[in-house]
């Protein structure tokens, strides 16, 4: 939530930081700004709205220099106005600051600072930081940062530039992500790796409590008490093409199309010579009798499928918890419970808090994450990587299908460790998995025409209902989430068996219903549910086998999907037309699919 970036080196900071913001805008995009240190001055440009507003501002009022900081915002405290956009400065133009996180005691600090004569120009929590820094500053920026840290409560990653310190950026982290990047004679900081490209060749994720002093020539790290810290830098392996849109019109379209390749890569890493490769998770899976999944949003939907896989293969008890609920309950801890946070970003604040709660009760933690340098990955006993590459579109698509596959592989691993998976069932599961990438390609091609046509027709509808049973109930929830978040259509998913217990009252000829009805054990029950909807004049879009005549006879349209060799994997395929449907409806409704209103990709605040 919010993206920050900084550059110091021989090149023009303004253009480098604008590109960095472009790569970070998935973290928030309601306003943006940057500050360049030039000739003893702090040159500030900020604008409300999308990044292009800041670009216009920069074109109208250019600034230049070799050192600066930048920010793209997802508003927490204060409306998305240019006054509330970062960077924020103190009244004497001493220091400018960009911040990601929430300073929870900002009101108390603000009152004390105002009593001391500070004049605030924004409604943000962040603005206390430059005022505190200006008061602490005696010519040594690192000393000033270290002095104010004990006063800040909450979470932060912030970076500061000082008017009389050209060529120097100072940063600190506590609870919000920040990476350091090193290039040839240039240093960068950013909330995520893509924003370091192509200038940095090596990177190092900052740890909580670090204070960093960057010039073009060196990056010096110390702890909050001043003890020197040896930062370990690793080569950046992300390719620039992975963070560019290529020939696609949006990252969402690109990421949907990438799914076969990503799933193949994940499988290649986990299958060798027809057998399962079992990553060392740092715990003895044999002893596990109880699994608790923690996740939010789309990752929570994947967790629900994980429960089905584990119950089926490993016969262990599984709970699926929404992270923001789990963290405030008083969950029962037991020695044979494994906690499994699932998170694309690895930075979601509630999931991280749930993980920390579990660890405080001495429960082992194995996480499924896409971003391997993330805090959740680092704080887990074991990690199962999703290997989906950078997901930039705000709506999660490729990470979701990678999560489903990774969870299926995890269930096989637990089942085998517990001696509950014979070779024959394992072989059948592996065979089914191997066919998936090709089946994803086939399904995407097969459904596209009818999906686009249906989206054309139903785009004006202001509401939609998704129905499914078993694993397809999960697809219904995920399909509805995709439609509401990027097309702003009120959409809701139900377990089809529940529909007649109230929600069926919603059905009219104006309500499109998307009914998940592949040829699985629930097929005939779903057909009966569809009959009930038809009898009340509902408009039905079926999702099912291309040759299912009974389904076709009942529906206005059918999104065809390939049937996998293993029924449990069907949701990995049925979600595909629904991702494309949400994309097309959003485009017909003129919505920005990559940056839907009010959202941010990584929810790093509570």
* 396 part of the interface to ligand F6R, by CB under 6 A: yes
Q: Pick the stretch among 345-353, 459-467, 531-539, 542-550 that binds ligand F6R (CB under 6 A).
A: 345-353
Q: Which residue has the tokens 């592949």?
A: 518
CB of residue 438 to ligand F6R, shortest distance in Å = 25
How many positions of this chain bind ligand F6R (CB under 6 A)? 15
Q: Which of 299, 475, 563, 579: binder of ligand F6R (CB under 6 A)?
A: 299
Q: Which of 94, 165, 351, 529 binds ligand F6R (CB under 6 A)?
A: 351
Q: Cα(200)–Cα(211) distance, rounded to whole angstroms?
A: 20
Catalytic residue among 89, 482, 484, 601: 601
| Least gap, CB of 323 to ligand F6R (angstroms) | 8
List of residues 6+ apart from 130 with CB closer than 8 A: 88, 89, 90, 94, 95, 96, 97, 160
298 binding ligand F6R? (CB under 6 A): yes
339: Cα separation from own chain's centroid: 20
Residues 2, 35, 214, 555: which is the catalytic one?
2
Site for ligand F6R contains 395 (CB under 6 A): yes
In 3-state terms, what secondary structure has residue 228?
strand
Q: Toward ligand F6R, which CB reaches closer, 89 or 584?
A: 584
Considering the complex, what minimum distance in angstroms separates the CB of residue 541 from ligand F6R? 21
Task: Compute CA 492 distance to the chain's CA centroid, rounded to the nearest angstrom.
Answer: 21
User: Does the protein bind ligand F6R through residue 348 (CB under 6 A)?
Assistant: yes
Distance CA 279, CA 83 (A): 50
Question: Which of 37, 104, 103, 110 is CA-nearest to residue 70?
Answer: 37
In the chain the first and final C-alpha atoms are separated, in Å, by 10
Chain CA centroid to CA 515, Å: 28
As measured in angstroms, the least distance from the Cβ of 26 to ligand F6R is: 10
* Burial (Cβ within 10 Å: 0-12, 13-18, ≥19) of residue 565: middle
Q: In this chain, which stretch among 217-225, 325-333, 337-345, 426-434 interacts with ligand F6R, using CB under 6 A?
A: 337-345
| Residue 344 binding ligand F6R, by CB under 6 A | yes
d(CA 386, CA 193): 17
601 is catalytic: yes
Which among 180-188, 226-234, 273-281, 290-298 is the span making contact with ligand F6R, rule CB under 6 A? 290-298
Q: Quick one: 44 or 572, whose CB is closer to ligand F6R?
A: 572
Residue 2 bears catalytic tag: yes
Query: What is the secondary structure of 570-592 as a DSSP string?
Result: HHHHHHHHHHHHHHHHHHHTT--
From the CA atom positions of the chain, what is the Rg in Å?
25
Nearer Cβ to ligand F6R (157/603): 603
Is residue 165 part of the contact set for ligand F6R (CB under 6 A)? Answer: no
Is the CB of 38 or the CB of 191 nearer to ligand F6R?
A: 191
Q: Which residue, 221 or 489, has its beta carbon nearer to ligand F6R?
A: 489
Residues 480-499 that bind ligand F6R (CB under 6 A): 481, 485
Q: Are strands 290-295 and 317-322 parallel, antiparallel or unpaired?
A: parallel
Q: Which of 353, 447, 603, 605: binder of ligand F6R (CB under 6 A)?
A: 603
Q: Tell me which stretch binds ligand F6R (CB under 6 A): 291-299, 305-313, 459-467, 530-538.
A: 291-299
The one segment of 342-350, 522-530, 556-564, 565-573 that binds ligand F6R by CB under 6 A: 342-350
DSSP annotation string for 327-352 = TTS-PPP-TTEEEEEEESSS--HHHH
Query: Nearest residue to ligand F6R, using CB?
Result: 297
Length of the chain: 606
Burial class (CB in 10 A: 0-12, 13-18, 19+), 321: buried
Query: Which residues, listed in sequence order, are joined to residue 172 by a DSSP beta bridge?
Result: 158, 211
Does residue number 297 form part of the binding site for ligand F6R (CB under 6 A)?
yes
What is the nearest approach in angstroms of ligand F6R to the Cβ of residue 395?
Answer: 4
How far is Cα 247 from Cα 261, in angstroms, rounded to an integer?
17
- Which residue in 94, 345, 413, 563 binds ligand F6R (CB under 6 A)? 345
Please say which residue, 243 or 522, places its beta carbon nearer to ligand F6R: 243
Other CB atoms within 10 Å distance of the CB of residue 332: 9
Quick check: helix, strand or coil at residue 465? strand
- The residue with tokens 């629900």 is 304
Quick check: 31 binds ligand F6R (CB under 6 A)? no
Whose structure tokens read 């060798």?
Answer: 272
Residues with a known catalytic role: 2, 601
Contact set with ligand F6R (CB under 6 A) = 296-299, 343-345, 348, 351, 395-396, 481, 485, 602-603
């Amino acid at each position: 939530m919010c993206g920050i970036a900084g550059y110091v080196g021989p090149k023009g900071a303004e253009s480098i930081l604008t590109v960095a913001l472009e790569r970070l805008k998935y973290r928030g995009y309601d306003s943006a700004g940057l500050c360049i240190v030039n000739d003893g001055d702090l040159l500030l440009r900020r604008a409300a709205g999308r990044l292009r507003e800041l670009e216009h501002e920069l074109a109208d009022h250019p600034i230049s220099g070799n050192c600066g900081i930048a920010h793209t915002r997802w508003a927490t405290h204060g409306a998305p106005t240019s006054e509330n956009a970062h960077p924020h400065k103190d009244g004497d133009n001493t220091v400018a600051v960009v911040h990601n996180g929430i300073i929870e005691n900002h009101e108390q600090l603000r009152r004390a600072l105002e009593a001391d004569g500070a004049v605030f120009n924004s409604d943000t929590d962040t603005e206390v930081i430059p005022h505190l820094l200006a008061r602490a500053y005696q010519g040594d920026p690192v000393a000033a940062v270290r002095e104010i840290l004990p006063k800040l409560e909450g979470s932060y990653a912030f970076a500061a530039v000082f008017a009389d310190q050209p060529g120097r950026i100072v940063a600190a982290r506590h609870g919000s992500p920040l990476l350091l990047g090193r290039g040839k004679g240039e240093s960068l900081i950013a909330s995520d790796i893509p924003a370091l490209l192509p200038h940095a060749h090596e990177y190092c994720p900052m740890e909580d409590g670090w204070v960093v002093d960057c010039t073009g020539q060196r990056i010096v790290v110390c702890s909050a008490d001043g003890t020197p810290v040896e930062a370990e830098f690793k080569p950046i392996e992300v390719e620039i093409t992975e963070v560019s849109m290529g020939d696609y019109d949006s990252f969402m379209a690109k990421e949907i199309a990438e799914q076969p390749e990503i799933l193949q890569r994940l499988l290649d890493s986990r299958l060798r010579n027809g057998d399962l490769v079992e990553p060392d998770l740092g715990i003895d899976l044999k002893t596990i009798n109880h699994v608790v999944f923690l996740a939010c949003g789309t990752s929570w939907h994947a967790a629900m499928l994980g429960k089905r896989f584990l119950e089926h293969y490993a016969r262990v008890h599984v709970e699926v918890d929404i992270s923001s609920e789990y963290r405030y309950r008083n969950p029962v801890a037991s020695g044979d419970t494994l906690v499994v946070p699932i998170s694309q970003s690895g930075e979601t604040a509630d999931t991280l808090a749930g993980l920390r709660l579990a660890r405080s009760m001495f429960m082992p933690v194995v996480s499924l994450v896409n971003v391997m340098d993330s805090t959740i990955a680092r704080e887990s006993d074991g990690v199962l990587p999703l290997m989906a590459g950078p997901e930039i579109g705000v709506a999660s698509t490729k990470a979701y299908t990678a999560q489903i596959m990774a969870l299926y592989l995890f269930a096989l691993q637990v089942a085998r460790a517990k001696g509950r998976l014979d070779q024959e069932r394992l072989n059948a599961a592996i065979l089914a998995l191997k066919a998936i990438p090709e089946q994803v390609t086939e399904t995407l091609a097969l459904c596209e025409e009818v999906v686009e046509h249906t989206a054309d027709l139903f785009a004006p509808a202001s509401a939609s209902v998704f129905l499914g049973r078993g694993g397809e109930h999960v697809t219904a929830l995920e399909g509805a989430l995709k439609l509401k978040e990027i097309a702003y259509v009120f959409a809701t998913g139900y377990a089809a068996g529940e529909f007649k217990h109230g929600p069926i009252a919603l059905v009219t000829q104006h309500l499109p219903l998307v009914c998940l009805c592949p040829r699985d054990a629930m097929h005939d029950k779903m057909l009966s549910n569809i009959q009930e909807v038809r009898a009340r004049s509902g408009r039905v879009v079926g999702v099912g086998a291309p040759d299912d005549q009974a389904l076709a006879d009942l529906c206005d349209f059918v999104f065809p999907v390939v049937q996998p060799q293993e029924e449990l994997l069907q949701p990995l395929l049925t979600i595909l037309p629904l991702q494309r449907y949400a994309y097309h409806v959003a485009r017909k409704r003129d919505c920005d699919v990559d940056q839907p209103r009010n959202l941010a990709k990584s929810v790093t605040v509570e």
